[in-house]
């Protein structure tokens, strides 16, 4: 259905722009006084769409639709002619969907996907309110269109295009607000700005449809393996100004391009490929699991990351951010590439923030909580914007706090959790490099203390405080355990 919808929208756009090919049958040409003639026209129209090479992955599905309405040989159609005519009239009555801003696959996923589909989709899908806020923070400086300073945005593991569609809407709205949404700006957004790559061709078709629905910016979408030389063979050794992505996590087959460590983990291979694909001075946002940020065995990786890049911010997501298909603790890492060579570790502190509530229940079920205060603001959502009772447009807590909030002096922030309980914990702050290099571990090979270069926000904002017991308490607990063992032995005997 994805390619059928996109082909319909694309051809109708050609008609509206005056570029229609009169030798081809279009959706609007199918209308007929008699239902049987309409069905014949639709069958001819779908047959033409099946010849389109751009969406060959969906040719089989389109043929099933054609056979369902027109039949095949001696088999009768599954849908009668009157019903086909009614469906056609309903679709015809809808307004043009091109540029409507609707995230088709995001909406379908959130509303209808079952547990199995969500698990299969998991390595590619990022919930759209996360995609929106991370794209907005990455592109925060791009408020005005400047034809003398074009830039490019890449998602090298784009899935259904969530980051790209949100990026398009953010830039489009920003240019509207600053009165710079000229014809040149629209052309830039449609044809030059956005690039998507995914190893699955089906995902590229989905991304193209999603991008078409938000504004036609589906020009540079390619079914390639980002981690292999397919990319350079197709696009050359080009680089991008912005990269935003949620890469696959887990054991892979391609070695990460670094001499710091030896790893075939997908998330590590993608991290280094993102650095390579960024232009000098380019900025990125990449979602990474906790192990990359704190595992002692990866300390050399983090040291090299601090040498090659300037890390601006690390945001901790809730444990259930990607439930139900994974409970892996994930973090959004924002950084700027310094250059092609290794330099000294950055002197600037790193801003870290912990998201506790994202508007969904902190459980496997992930249903919307929709808790609000008396001004209509979110009580259990730190990342979504809102409109106050006075009609003012308000940004979410994360965006308001971005790169400036620090609650070190106050001992933390106060809020009410979804259970109605009062909570006080540190939310965010600036972590100096001296602190980051201070945590040490004993290298099992050298037996020397080495810096961990820990980049885990919780380590600094919410350090674990162990509960120590006295010798008297320990003795009492041991006696209690021994008595229980004796009781059980007595019952068994």
For residue 146, the model assigns a pLDDT of 94
For residue 479, the model assigns a pLDDT of 84
For residue 413, the model assigns a pLDDT of 87
Name residues whose C-beta falls within 8 Å of residue 466's C-beta, 6 or more positions apart in sequence. none
For residue 435, the model assigns a pLDDT of 92
Query: Is there a contact between 314 and 331 (Cβ–Cβ < 8 Å)?
Result: yes
Whose CA is closest to 247, among 278, 264, 268? Answer: 268
Neighbours of 287 (CB within 10 A): 24
Name residues whose C-beta falls within 8 Å of residue 294's C-beta, 6 or more positions apart in sequence. 452, 454, 455, 456, 459
The values of phi and psi at residue 373, to 5°, are -90, -175
Query: Is there a contact between 256 and 264 (Cβ–Cβ < 8 Å)?
Result: yes
Global confidence as pTM: 0.76
Question: What is the spatial distance between Cα 253 and Cα 60, in angstroms, rounded to a whole number?
Answer: 31
Alpha-carbon Rg for the chain, nearest whole angstrom, is 27
Question: What is the spatial distance between Cα 472 and Cα 393, in angstroms, rounded to a whole number?
Answer: 59
Q: Which residues pair with 222 in a beta bridge?
A: 197
The values of phi and psi at residue 43, to 5°, are -60, -45
Question: What is the spatial distance between Cα 22 and Cα 364, in angstroms, rounded to a whole number?
Answer: 53
HSE-CB for 133 with a 13 A CA cutoff: 24
Going residue by residue through the chain (493 aa), what tens digit of pLDDT does each one get? Answer: 444 445 555 555 555 555 656 677 877 788 888 888 998 988 888 888 777 755 566 677 778 888 898 888 878 888 889 998 888 887 777 655 544 555 555 555 554 444 554 444 444 457 788 899 999 999 999 999 999 999 999 999 998 888 999 999 999 999 999 999 999 999 999 999 999 999 988 888 888 878 887 876 778 999 999 999 888 899 988 999 999 999 988 888 899 888 888 889 999 999 999 999 999 999 999 999 999 999 988 999 999 999 999 999 999 999 888 776 667 899 999 999 998 777 888 889 999 999 998 887 777 777 777 777 666 667 778 888 877 777 777 888 999 999 999 999 998 888 777 677 888 899 999 999 999 988 777 777 777 788 889 999 999 999 875 555 667 777 888 888 888 888 888 877 6
Q: Give the N- to C-terminal CA distance of the chain in Å, as an integer.
A: 69
């Amino acid at each position: 259905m994805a390619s059928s919808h996109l082909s319909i929208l694309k051809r109708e756009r050609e008609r509206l722009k005056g570029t229609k090919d009169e030798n081809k049958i279009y959706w609007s040409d199918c209308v007929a006084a008699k239902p049987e003639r309409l069905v014949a026209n639709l069958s001819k129209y779908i047959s033409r769409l099946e010849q389109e090479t751009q969406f060959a992955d969906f040719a089989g599905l389109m043929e099933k639709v054609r056979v369902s309405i027109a039949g095949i040989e001696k088999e009768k159609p599954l849908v009668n002619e009157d019903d086909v005519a009614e469906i056609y009239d309903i679709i015809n009555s809808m307004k043009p969907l091109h540029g409507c801003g609707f995230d088709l696959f995001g909406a379908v996923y959130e509303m209808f996907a079952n547990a199995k589909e969500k698990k299969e989709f998991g390595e590619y899908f990022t919930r759209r309110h996360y995609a929106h806020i991370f794209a907005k923070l990455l592109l925060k400086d791009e408020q005005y269109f400047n034809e003398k300073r074009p830039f490019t945005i890449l998602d090298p593991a784009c899935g259904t295009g969530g980051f790209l569609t949100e990026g398009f809407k953010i830039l489009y709205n920003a240019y509207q607000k600053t009165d710079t949404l000229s014809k040149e700006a629209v052309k830039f957004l449609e044809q030059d700005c956005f690039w998507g790559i995914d190893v699955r061709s089906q995902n590229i078709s989905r991304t193209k449809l999603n991008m078409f629905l938000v504004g036609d910016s589906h020009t540079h979408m390619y079914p390639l393996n980002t981690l292999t030389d397919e990319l350079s063979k197709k696009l050359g050794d080009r680089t991008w100004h912005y990269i935003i992505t949620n890469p696959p996590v887990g054991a892979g087959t391609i070695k990460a391009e670094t001499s710091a460590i030896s790893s075939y983990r997908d998330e590590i291979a993608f991290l280094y490929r993102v650095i390579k694909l960024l232009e000098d001075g380019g900025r990125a946002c990449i979602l990474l699991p906790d192990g990359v940020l704190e595992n002692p065995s990866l300390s050399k990786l983090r040291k090299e990351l601090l040498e090659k890049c300037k890390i601006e911010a690390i945001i901790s997501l809730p444990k259930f951010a990607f439930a139900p298909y994974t409970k892996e603790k994930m973090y959004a890492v924002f950084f700027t590439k310094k250059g092609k060579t290794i330099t000294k570790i950055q002197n600037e502190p790193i801003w870290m923030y912990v998201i506790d509530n994202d508007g969904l229940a902190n459980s496997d079920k992930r249903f919307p909580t929709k808790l609000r205060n008396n001004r209509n603001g979110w009580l259990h959502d730190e990342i979504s914007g809102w409109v106050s009772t006075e009609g003012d447009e308000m940004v979410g807590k994360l965006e308001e706090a971005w790169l400036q909030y620090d609650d070190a002096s106050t001992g933390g922030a106060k809020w009410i959790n979804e259970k109605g309980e009062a909570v006080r914990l540190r939310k965010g702050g600036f972590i100096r490099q001296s602190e980051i290099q201070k945590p040490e571990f004993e290298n099992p090979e050298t037996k020397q203390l080495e810096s961990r270069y820990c980049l885990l926000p919780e380590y600094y904002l919410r350090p674990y405080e162990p509960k120590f017991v006295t010798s008297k308490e320990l003795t009492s607990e041991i006696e209690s355990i021994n008595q229980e063992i004796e009781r059980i032995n007595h019952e068994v005997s």
